[in-house]
């Protein structure tokens, strides 16, 4: 592992200073020390700006930007990306946190995955007082493809909300599209993979905690109308075929079972059979007939 490799971690934030403090602490205590932390505040009014000014005094690795106008998480991420100095970059939502070996795990795997465009691993979901990796989640993660190409993301967001990637690549393809009302992550990964023709590689590790236990809204809180608009934006931007659009639409089923149509589900199985898609299809069929 090369300690000379500078890694940037970007954190967009808005009015969650207590959670932000935990997120930053999880980064500054990483076992891999050659890091740059860029926090972009979206006009918080809860003392976030004062907190950032104070914490940056004690650690020169921490940098922050204070926006003059609220513009959303995508805009904040892109500000951080454009100002990143690290050769590699990864993100963290302000209500989530890293396990201590996350960056070390990515850097140590770089020598083994030279042909991949990006790396990612499995999230740990925190629903109450402690994060848990359930047996069901472990099984589902085992069934995911190890190499994810753009076409795979039409079926499911196998990658999740964070990746480890060369900063130049993320900059070259424009970062996150702020016109997307949600699905900004999957659209960003798809855009990169479809334009590079490369793949994302899944690591068999768990180093990122997604905290769903708090009462505050998540950055990408879901609403079905936002989902439908995101679907239309995605389909139009990438000129998806009618078949691929139908398959992408299936990703909305988990949020509203009234949307379920049998045709696209069967098309999923016809176009590409694997056990994970089959299990997801059975689940969606169950929801359909249970209505």
Mean pLDDT by 10 residues, the chain (291 residues): 86 97 98 98 96 96 96 96 98 97 96 86 87 72 85 92 97 96 96 96 95 67 81 97 87 64 58 60 60 50
Pair 12, 54 in one domain: yes
**pLDDT value at position 268?**
59
Pair 200, 253 in one domain: no
Cα–Cα distance measured from residue 264 to residue 244, given in angstroms and rounded to the nearest whole number = 9
Pair 29, 136 in one domain: yes
Region at 15 (left for phi over 0; alpha for psi -120 to 50; beta for the rest): left
Domain CATH code at residue 93: 3.90.550.10
Q: Is residue 147 part of a domain?
A: yes
Give me the domain span that covers residue 183. 7-211
Residue where a domain terminates, one of 211, 237, 262: 211
Smallest CA-to-CA distance from 150 within 213, 211, 195 is with 195
First CA to last CA distance, the chain: 53
Pair 229, 207 in one domain: no
Helix boundaries (H) for the chain = 17-28, 48-57, 73-82, 102-109, 135-143, 150-155, 167-172, 184-196, 224-237, 242-249, 262-271, 275-290
Pair 191, 237 in one domain: no
**pLDDT value at position 256?**
58
Pair 185, 230 in one domain: no
Model-level pTM? 0.87
Pair 115, 245 in one domain: no
Token couple for 145: 């493809």
Q: Is residue 216 part of a domain?
A: no
The domain total for the chain is 2
Pair 87, 230 in one domain: no
Q: What is the largest CA-CA distance in the chain?
A: 58
How many C-beta neighbours within 10 Å does residue 130 have? Answer: 9
Pair 46, 167 in one domain: yes
Number of C-alpha atoms within 13 angstroms, CB side, residue 261?
10
**pLDDT value at position 107?**
97
**pLDDT value at position 61?**
97
Residue in the block written with tokens 């995508």: 74
Cα–Cα distance measured from residue 202 to residue 157, given in angstroms and rounded to the nearest whole number = 12
DSSP summary character for residue 112: G
Number of residues written out for the chain = 291
Whole-angstrom CA distances from 290 to 250, 253, 264 are 17, 14, 18
Give 98's strand partners: 208
Residue where a domain terminates, one of 164, 185, 211: 211
């Amino acid at each position: 592992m090369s300690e000379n490799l500078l890694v940037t971690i970007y954190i967009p934030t808005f009015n969650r200073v207590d959670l932000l403090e935990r997120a930053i602490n999880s980064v500054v205590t990483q076992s891999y020390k050659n890091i740059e932390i860029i926090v972009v505040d979206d006009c918080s009014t809860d003392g976030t700006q004062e907190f950032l000014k104070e914490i940056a005094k004690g650690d020169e690795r921490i940098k922050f930007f204070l926006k003059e106008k609220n513009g959303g998480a995508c805009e904040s991420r892109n500000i951080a990306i454009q100002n990143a100095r690290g050769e590699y970059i990864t993100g963290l939502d302000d209500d989530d946190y890293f396990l201590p070996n996350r960056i070390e795990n990515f850097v140590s795997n770089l020598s083994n995955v030279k042909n991949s465009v990006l790396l990612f691993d499995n999230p740990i979901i925190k629903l109450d007082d402690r994060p848990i990796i359930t047996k069901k989640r472990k099984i589902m993660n085992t069934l995911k493809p190890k190499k994810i190409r753009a076409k795979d993301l039409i079926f499911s967001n196998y990658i999740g909300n964070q990746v480890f990637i060369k900063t130049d690549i993320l900059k070259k393809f424009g970062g996150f599209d702020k016109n997307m009302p949600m699905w900004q992550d999957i659209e960003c990964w798809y855009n990169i993979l479809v334009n590079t023709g490369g793949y994302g590689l899944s690591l068999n590790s768990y180093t990122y905690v997604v905290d769903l236990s708090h009462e505050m809204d998540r950055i990408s809180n879901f609403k079905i109308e936002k989902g439908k608009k995101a679907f239309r934006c995605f389909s139009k931007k990438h000129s998806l075929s009618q078949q691929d659009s139908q398959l992408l639409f299936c990703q909305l089923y988990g949020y509203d079972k009234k949307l379920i149509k049998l045709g696209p589900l069967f098309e999923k199985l016809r176009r590409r059979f694997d056990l994970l898609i089959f299990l997801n299809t059975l689940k969606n069929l169950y929801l359909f007939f249970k209505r």
